[in-house]
Structure 1
Amino acid sequence: MINKNFLWGTATASYQCEGGWNEGGRVPSLWDVYLHENNLENGNDASDHYHKYKEDIRLMKEGGHKAYRFSIAWPRIIINDKGEVNPEGVQFYHNIIDECLKNGIEPFVTLFHWDLPQYLEDKGGWAEREICDAYVEYAKVCFKEYGDKVTYWSTFNEPRYYVFSGYKIGNYPPGIDDTQKTIQASFYMMLANALTVGVFREMKMKGQIGIVHSYAPIFGVDDSLETKIAMRKADNYFNNWILDTAIKGEIPIDMLGMLNEKYDLSFMKEADFEAIKNNTVDFAGLNYYARALIKPYTGGESILRINNKGSEAKGSSKVVVKGWFEQVFDNPDSTYTEWDTEIYPQGLYHGIIRAYEKYKVPIFITENGVAFYEDVPNEKSVDDQGRIHFLNEHINAILNAIDDGAEVLGYFIWSTMDLYSWKNGHEKRYGLVGVDFENNFERKPKASYYWYKKVCESNGTAIERS
C-alpha cells in the first residue's frame, strides 16, 4: 500500500535549469569555465529558472506535484576560498523554498549537483583533502539558512557519475584520465558526505539527510561462477562504494584490497574511516535510468566510453574495467533510447527490492525519466506518448516493489522542464514541460505533464498496473 504522504514530484539541477550564470553575485563554476574555454554549448541561460522560478513552481502546483527536488548552486552561496557568503545567492534560495511552501510543495534540497566553484577547482577540486572542509562550511551555511524550512536534504547527487566522468573517463570537467585522482576524489567526496552528516546531527537539524546515487542494479549474462565474480566487482564499481559507505559506514574491503595492489591508498586515514563509520545517512536517493548487464572480463585495456553526443553516437558506449568485468550494451532482447540507454523497467523493481533488503532504510527514487528529440517551438503541446509509456512502466515497477514490502517514500521525474543536459546541450529533452529556447523560454506543458497530474492527484492509482 502506497503511503498517503508519498512525495510525487519532479527534479532539476541548478546549473542545468537556472541560467543567470553571472547574476546575483554568482561566481563561475568549473562547468562555466570548461564550456566557455572549449567553445561548447553552455548553460549561461539554461531554462531561465533563475527568472522564471515562480512560473515553474506554479506549474508544479497546477500539475499536482507534492515535492520539488532541486539543487543549491555552491557558486551562488560561497564566492571565494575565504568562505565569503553572498547574500543575494542566499536570498534566491529562500525565495524558491518559500514559493514551494506557499504552493504546498515540499522542497527536497540537494547541496551538490556538480557545479563546483572554479576557485576550488583551481586548488585541485575533489582530488584534494582540503575540499572536504570547504564543503562542510558551505553545508553549514545552508543548514543555518534553510534548516527550519527544509525537511529533506541530500549531500551529493551521483558521486560516481561525477567523479568517473571528470577524473577517469574525462568527458566532463576537469576532463582528465587519472586513476589515482579518481580514487582520491571518490574517497574525499564520501568523506565529505560523512563529515556533513556529522554536522547535520551536531546542529540538531529537524529534517533528514541522505545521498543520491546513480543506481545501476547489476545483472549477469548467465549463472556461472565467473559471471558472479564479475558481478560482485561491477557492483563495487557501480554501487557499493557509494551506498555501503554512506548507509553502512563501510567501504567494500575487497574493493580496497584490489585497489591497494596498484595504487597508493595511504591518503586514507584512520580518523577518516571512523568518521565514515559514525555518520551514516537517513535515506537512499536512487536515480534509475538503466541496469548494468555484466559479463566476465575477456581481455584488453580498460575502456570507459559513455555516449553523451546524441543519436549520431548510438551504439558506441563500451565499459570494460581491466581484470574486473565488461558491461553489455548490445543485448538483442532489449530496446534502447536514442542515447544508448537500455529501457528496462523491471530492473528498477529488482533494484529497489535488493537495496531495501540490504540496507533497510527508506528509499526515494530521486530521478527517473527518458529523453527524446522534440520539436517544442512548433507544437502547442508535445504529444509525448512514448514518455508516458516509459513513466507508467517504471512507476508500476515501484508500486510492485512497495507491494512486496519495500519502503519507497517518493518519486521524482527527471525533469520538471526541458533543460540544459550537460554536453548534450538543449536538444536532449527530458521535461514534462517543454521550453521554447528560441522564444523567451516560453513554457509549454506536454501530454506527459497532464498525465502525471492525474498520477499525482490519484496517489498512483491512475497507473496502469501489471
Structure 2
Amino acid sequence: MIKFPKNFYWGSAISATQSEGASAKDNKTETTWDRWYKEDPYKFYDQIGPELTTNMYENYKEDVKWLKKTGHNSYRTSISWARLIPGGKGEVNQKAVDFYRDYFQRIKDEGVELFVNLFHFDMPIEMQEIGGWTSREVVNHFVEYADTAFKLFGDLVDRWFTFNEPIVHVECQYLNQYHYPAEVNPEKAIQSAFNTQLASSLAIQAFRKHELDSKVGIILNLTPAYSRSSNPNDIEAAKIADLIACKSFLDPSVLGEYPKELVDLLKDYDKLPDYTDEDLEVIKNNTVDFLGVNYYQPLRVKENPYEIKEDAIFLPENFYTPFEMPGRRMNIYRGWEIYPKALYDIAINIRDNYNNIEWLVTENGMGVENEERFRENGQINDHYRIDFFKEHLTELHKGVEEGSNCIGYQVWTFIDCWSWLNAYKNRYGLVELDLDTQERRIKKSGEWFKTLSENNGF
C-alpha cells in the first residue's frame, strides 16, 4: 500500500466564478467573463455563460455536506472580487460578507481546513476598463481588496493564496485570446505579468501586518518543459520555454528574484516592463510561505527552425515550437497529454532548486465529455479518473519518499463546474451535477477518494 505522511491534505479546489453563479445577484457587479459572454456568447460552449454555473451561491449549505462524503480534510475556493467589493473599489458589499462568512464557517464546521484564493481570472470589468493588470491603479485596488479579505475572513481561513495560475491570465488575455479582452499585445502581456507578481507580493506584505495564524502562498500551474531530443538547439528551446512558462512566476514568488536569463532575454529585445527599484525590493522581501502547484500536462518543445522576420510580433513561440511526442498518451476530450511522471519531476525540482519549500498539489484532474455513457445502476463509474489519480499519486509519492516537502493533494474538482469557454463540455467532478435538475450524485471516484483519504493512501 502507498501511504502518505501523517496529516496529509486530501481535498479539491474550485473557484467563485466557476461555482457560485448568481452573477448579478445581491449587488455583485460584472466581471470580464460576464461582459465577454454578453458580447460574444457564441465563444462559449453551448452558449452557456457564467450566470448560473453550479449555483453554489444558492446551494452551498447542502453542497458543503458533500465534502466529508468525498473524503475532504481540506478545500480550496476563491472570493469573487466583484461580489465582495462591487466594481473592484469602494464600499464592501455586506451581503457578500454574510455569504462568505456563513459559507466558510460551514466548511469549518464539517471539519475541513479552508484554503481561500483571492484572484482566479475574475477581474471586475471596471478594473479591466482602466487597464487591468497593465495598470498600477488596479494593482493598488487589488491590494486594498486583499487587505479587506484578510480583515473580514482571517479568523476562518487556514491558508491563503494570492493568485491562481497567473501566467494563464497573462497569456490568455494578451497573447492567445482565450480571456477577455483577447488581444495580441506582448508588451501588455509582459507588463501584466510584472504587475501581477508585484500585486501578489504587495498582498503578502499586507497579510503579514495582520499577524494571522494562517499562511499565504500562490498557486502556479507548473508544466515542466521537456526537449524533443538531446540536441543543444532543442535543449535551449526547452530552457527558454521553462523560463517563460514556469520560472517567470516561480522564481520571484519563492526566491524573490527573477531569473537572470529571463531578464537578459527581455532586455535583448527591448521588452522589459516598467518597474522601479522599490518594486523589486517589495518582491524580494515578500516571498510566499508555501506553494500551490496545479499540474495537468507537460510542455514538450523543439527548436524553432525558422528565421523570425524583423518586425514579427514578440511571442514565446518565436523561441520554441510545440513537439508532439510519438506514442504520447492523450486525454482526447481536453487535448492534453497524460504524463504522470512530471509530478515526480516537479517534486524533485522544488526540493533541489526552491529551498524544498512546503508545497501541495492544488489541482490535478481529468475532464471527460459525455460521462453519462459510463452510468451503471444510476451512478457514473469514472474508473478512468480513479486510474488517473492513482498514477499521479504514485509518482508524487516517489517524490515525497525522496524528500520533497509535499503536504497534500487536491483534485479539480469536487463537483462538476463551469469551465470558462468550455462551459460544461468536460466534467471533472467527484460529484455529478445534473444541469437540468441541479441534482447532485456521487461518482465512483468520489467514493474512491473518500477511501483514499481515510486510508491516507491506496
Bin for the TM-score computed over the shorter chain: over 0.9
Task: For 2:210 and 2:280, locate their aligned partners in 1 and report how far apart those are by CA, in whole Å.
Answer: 22
1:277 aligns with 2:279: no
Matched ranges for 1:111-260 at <5 A: 111-260=118-267
Find the residue that maps to 2:381 and give its secondary structure.
coil
Percent identity among equivalent residues?
33
- Is the CA contact (8 Å cut-off) linking 2:187 and 2:273 kept in structure 1? no
Counterpart for residue 456 of structure 1: 453
Task: For 1:159 and 1:221, locate their aligned partners in 2 and report how far apart those are by CA, in whole Å.
Answer: 27
Structure 2 unaligned blocks of 5 or more: 310-314
- Is the CA contact (8 Å cut-off) linking 2:19 and 2:418 kept in structure 1? yes
1:43 aligns with 2:50: yes
Counterpart for residue 344 of structure 1: 339
- Is the CA contact (8 Å cut-off) linking 2:374 and 2:381 kept in structure 1? no
- Which of 296, 299, 318 does residue 306 from structure 2 map onto? 299
Find the residue that maps to 1:417 and give its secondary structure.
coil
**Bigger shift: 383-392 or 264-273?**
264-273
The TM-score, its normalising length taken from structure 1, stands at 0.92
The structure with higher relative contact order (CA 8 Å, sep 6+) is 2
- Is the CA contact (8 Å cut-off) linking 1:299 and 1:322 kept in structure 2? no
Task: For 2:396 and 2:316, locate their aligned partners in 1 and report how far apart those are by CA, in whole Å.
Answer: 31
Structure 1 pair 24–423 and aligned structure 2 pair: CA distance change class (3 A): same
Cα RMSD of the aligned pairs, angstroms, is 1.7
Counterpart for residue 272 of structure 2: 265
The TM-score, its normalising length taken from structure 2, stands at 0.93
- Is the CA contact (8 Å cut-off) linking 2:215 and 2:289 kept in structure 1? yes
**Bigger shift: 415-424 or 332-341?**
332-341
1:446 aligns with 2:443: yes
Counterpart for residue 329 of structure 1: 324
Task: For 2:349 and 2:425, locate their aligned partners in 1 and report how far apart those are by CA, in whole Å.
Answer: 35
Task: For 2:184 and 2:272, locate their aligned partners in 1 and report how far apart those are by CA, in whole Å.
Answer: 18
Counterpart for residue 365 of structure 2: 369
**Bigger shift: 253-262 or 373-382?**
373-382
- Is the CA contact (8 Å cut-off) linking 2:190 and 2:271 kept in structure 1? no
Find the residue that maps to 1:438 and give its secondary structure.
coil
1:402 aligns with 2:400: yes
- Is the CA contact (8 Å cut-off) linking 2:88 and 2:124 kept in structure 1? no
Counterpart for residue 3 of structure 1: 5
Find the residue that maps to 1:169 and give its secondary structure.
coil
Could you list the per-position Cα deviations for residues 41-86 of structure 1 after superposition, in whole angstroms to 9, with x for gaps in the alignment? 2111101111111222101112221011101110111113542110
Could you list the per-position Cα deviations for residues 197-228 of structure 1 after superposition, in whole angstroms to 9, with x for gaps in the alignment? 11111221221111001110122222222222
- Which of 19, 23, 32 does residue 34 from structure 2 map onto? 32
Could you list the per-position Cα deviations for residues 368-398 of structure 1 after superposition, in whole angstroms to 9, with x for gaps in the alignment? 0001013449942111111111111111111
Task: For 2:123 and 2:403, locate their aligned partners in 1 and report how far apart those are by CA, in whole Å.
Answer: 38
Matched pairs, number: 443
Q: CA deviation at 1:322?
A: 4.4
- Which of 411, 414, 422 does residue 413 from structure 1 map onto? 411
Structure 1 unaligned blocks of 5 or more: 303-319
Counterpart for residue 79 of structure 2: 72
- Is the CA contact (8 Å cut-off) linking 1:180 and 1:263 kept in structure 2? no
Task: For 2:288 and 2:152, locate their aligned partners in 1 and report how far apart those are by CA, in whole Å.
Answer: 21
Task: For 1:324 and 1:348, locate their aligned partners in 2 and report how far apart those are by CA, in whole Å.
Answer: 25
User: Residue type of the partner of 1:372?
Assistant: V
User: Residue type of the partner of 1:78?
Assistant: I
Task: For 1:140 and 1:361, locate their aligned partners in 2 and report how far apart those are by CA, in whole Å.
Answer: 25
Task: For 1:337 and 1:92, locate their aligned partners in 2 and report how far apart those are by CA, in whole Å.
Answer: 38
Task: For 2:326 and 2:299, locate their aligned partners in 1 and report how far apart those are by CA, in whole Å.
Answer: 11
